[in-house]
């Protein structure tokens, strides 16, 4: 498995925001979002460690941290991801969260050792909305999350349409986040208030408030 970096920090977003976690960032992605903040990890020439699922599991066990966040890039593109998830399930008692971009089917990973998913839905501002796998919504359950990252009011309107059509607030936690530096969070709050977005949570990226926005390993 191609690991671009591994480290311990707090979760900057998602259901376990603020909680300590072991991060495993995998190299490579099947999207090229306009606002991607980890583009370096998506490049073909990105340096990485080739690690087996067993080696990654050993690292997590040695870390002594009970939350694991698998991120990228796109972690579900890794050929041995199902094996890794099964190892985590058998050998650890960790809560495992997979941050996935919405363009990879979740169903193959919803068997034994199923993790928690934080699923992105890419809005028009990303340039990748047509790549979204809508069937993924049926795989979601309480404990999972859907995240919409908005850069314009048009993105906010579209997010509302998707949330209502697929009844997402009935399935899981739903977040709306601003593209860092492109839309003022106050505009999102005003929109949420105007549209009475019950069941939707504004989320800001904690790690970008604590460290420089482009800093790695945090």
- Give the residue with greater pLDDT, 72 vs 211: 72
Give the residue-averaged pLDDT of 117-137. 98
Q: Is residue 213 scored above 80 in pLDDT?
A: no
Q: Where are the domains of the chain?
A: 2-210
Give the residue-averaged pLDDT of 117-128. 97
Percentage above 90 pLDDT, the chain: 86
Please name which of 133, 118, 129, 174 lies closest in space to residue 151, comparing C-alpha atoms: 129
Q: Is residue 116 scored above 80 in pLDDT?
A: yes
Give the residue-averaged pLDDT of 133-151. 97
Q: Is residue 180 scored above 90 in pLDDT?
A: no
173 is in an annotated binding site: no
- 163 pLDDT band, cuts 50/70/90, is very high
36 is in an annotated binding site: yes
10 is in an annotated binding site: yes
The label of the residue with tokens 């068997």 reads 111
Q: Is residue 171 scored above 80 in pLDDT?
A: yes
Q: Is residue 218 scored above 90 in pLDDT?
A: no
37 is in an annotated binding site: yes
35 is in an annotated binding site: yes
Report the topology of domain 2-210. Answer: TIM Barrel (3.20.20)
11 is in an annotated binding site: yes
CA distance linking residue 87 with residue 53, whole number of Å: 7
């Amino acid at each position: 498995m191609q690991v671009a970096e591994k480290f311990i920090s707090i979760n900057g977003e998602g259901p376990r925001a603020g909680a300590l976690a072991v991060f495993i960032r995998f190299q490579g992605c099947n999207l090229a979002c306009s606002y991607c903040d980890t583009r370096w990890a998506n490049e073909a020439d990105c340096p990485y460690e080739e690690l087996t699922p067993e080696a990654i599991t050993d690292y997590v066990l040695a870390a002594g941290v009970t939350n694991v966040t698998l991120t990228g890039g796109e972690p579900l593109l890794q050929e041995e991801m199902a094996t890794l998830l099964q190892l985590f399930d058998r050998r650890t008692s960790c809560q495992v969260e997979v941050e996935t971009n919405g363009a990879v089917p979740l169903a193959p990973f919803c068997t034994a050792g199923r993790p928690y998913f934080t699923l992105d839905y890419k809005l028009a501002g990303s340039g990748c909305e047509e790549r979204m796998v809508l069937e993924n919504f049926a795989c979601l359950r309480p404990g999972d999350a859907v995240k919409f990252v908005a850069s314009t009011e048009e993105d906010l309107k579209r997010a509302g349409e998707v949330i209502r059509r697929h009844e997402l607030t009935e399935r899981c936690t739903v977040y709306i986040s601003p593209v860092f530096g492109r839309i003022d969070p106050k505009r999102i709050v005003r929109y949420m208030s105007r549209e009475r977005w019950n069941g939707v949570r504004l989320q800001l990226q904690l790690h970008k408030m604590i460290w420089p926005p482009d800093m790695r390993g945090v």
